[in-house]
Amino acid sequence: MEWEAVIGLEVHAQLLTKSKAFSGATTKYGAVPNTQACAVDIALPGVLPVFNREAARMAVKFGLAIGATINHHSVFARKNYFYPDLPKGYQISQYELPIVTKGHIDIEIDNSRKTIGVTRAHLEEDAGKSLHEDFHGMSGIDLNRAGTPLLEIVSEPDMRSAKEAVAYLKKLHELVRYLEICDGNMQEGSFRCDANVSVRPRGEQKLGTRTEIKNVNSFRFVEKAIDYEIERQIDVLESGGTVVQETRLYDSDKNVTRSMRSKEEANDYRYFPDPDLPPLVIDDAFIRETEKTLPELPDAKRARFIKDYGLSAYDAGVLTASPEMARYYEETVRESKADPKIVANWVTGEVSAYLNRENKEITDSPVTPALLAGLLRRVADSTISGKIAKEVFEAMWNGQGDADAVIEKKGLKQITDSGAIEKVIDEVLAKNPKQLEQYRNGQEKLFGYFVGQVMKATGGKANPAQVNALLKKKLGP
């Protein structure tokens, strides 16, 4: 039988606010345990939550960016369960009336476009962290993360393969970073993904029983975990079994998913509107004001890069993968006034290669747009050749100053004086009488050999175009 997978994703994006959702404690990552958990966060008796306006604004910003409905009234509810990293015994979330409903995100898959529905995005608070290393048989609890605002983004079950799920996830990741509402750091858990996966015979309308995979913290693992889970469910069904609705954990070391707990009991969250929190009211003025803060979105930027800079779809994609990368590229174009395609080659080539090698982000590049622009100007005005430029780039990367300083210090200035080049050509021809004879006897490919010798003799500094022209003249018929 042919099977079809049905996948929906739930993404938790930590919102980039300075303070928590319902308290004035800081949200900074990596502090000493519990030093950022205030009386509200640890749920001391008598405290009251007061909601962070910026978190509401970020949710609205997201809703606008995915063409969703922004609900003028949304309601915070209590989701009740007991776990030590949730001190109140409930998580403040939104249930029946979320702030954002019905948006969509377009993905590109195998050169065709597919629209993935976003059912809803709702505001909630994060829980703390449990550390199960041995503390005399006890667990340690760090509540620094407790109360950090989250936007939970729930997709429709519109994806049909792990590849589509990853494409959607990447698109979403890129979007929240463009909107500057989430730093997208998957290692630190600021962007987390749960996947709901089920399979059904192709052509069947009814959905199969689904499982939820938790604990996947990279794009690669999301793909592997979903692929594994699809195969597992098909195996279960084909051997006559039934899929159990449950939560499963992905183990990246073994590349398997494992049953975590039966969802039946855990699912009884007894939601009810939080009596401490009246409805969140978003008026039109708030929405309009937020709309003004929307940046150029990734798809629009890609289209503009292709149109204005004449880039290929591939280069435009690479250069707009993050807002920082796009900024770097455009600044270099602006400052160098060089051909945008040449700038694109440098940024996707040398710059990216060096960044990858040293595992650096574009914002940490020692060669800033200004430095790179300086280098490109020297190529444009023929002070150096493109080949020498790579040597200069390496020196700039290693902090040896700007292009002019490096060219000066290393004596890399291109030789454009015809007299000087001719002198070298004469020397080279004099030193290679055998090759010269062969060339004269019709072995024309030796021309390249002579060019190479001249370049070598000048340390790569001779202007290649001039070398070619002068050599042709000397060897001429």
> Which residues contribute to the site for other proteins (CB under 8 A)?
17-19, 23-26, 32-39, 42, 44, 50-56, 75-76, 80, 82-84, 97, 130-132, 135-143, 260-261, 268, 270, 273, 275, 277-281
Is the CB of 275 or the CB of 399 nearer to other proteins? 275
Closest distance of CB 130 from other proteins, Å: 6
Closest distance of CB 131 from other proteins, Å: 7
Q: Position 329: which residue type?
A: Y
Closest distance of CB 270 from other proteins, Å: 7
Is the CB of 147 or the CB of 374 nearer to other proteins? 147
In whole angstroms, give the CA distance from residue 98 to residue 71. Answer: 7
Is the CB of 281 or the CB of 313 nearer to other proteins? 281
In whole angstroms, give the CA distance from residue 82 to residue 441. Answer: 91
Closest distance of CB 140 from other proteins, Å: 3
Closest distance of CB 322 from other proteins, Å: 24
Residue 396 neighbours by CB under 8 Å, 6+ apart = 366, 367, 371, 375, 402, 403, 406
The 10 Å CB-count burial string (b at 16+, else e) for 116-145 is bbbbbbbbbbbbbeeeeeeeeeeeebbbbb
Q: Do 428 and 453 contact (CB within 8 A), yes or no?
A: yes
Is the CB of 141 or the CB of 455 nearer to other proteins? 141
**Quick one: which of 19, 26, 27, 23 has its CA closest to 48?**
23
Is the CB of 181 or the CB of 230 nearer to other proteins? 181
Is the CB of 33 or the CB of 117 nearer to other proteins? 33
In whole angstroms, give the CA distance from residue 386 to residue 380. Answer: 9
Closest distance of CB 17 from other proteins, Å: 5
Is the CB of 114 or the CB of 129 nearer to other proteins? 129
Closest distance of CB 67 from other proteins, Å: 25
Distances (CA, A) of 37 to 45, 51, 199: 15, 16, 42
User: Using H for helix, E for strand and C for coil, what is the string for 239-297?
Assistant: CCCCCCCEEEEEECCCCEEEEEEEHHHHCCCCCEECCCCCCEECCHHHHHHHHCCCCCC
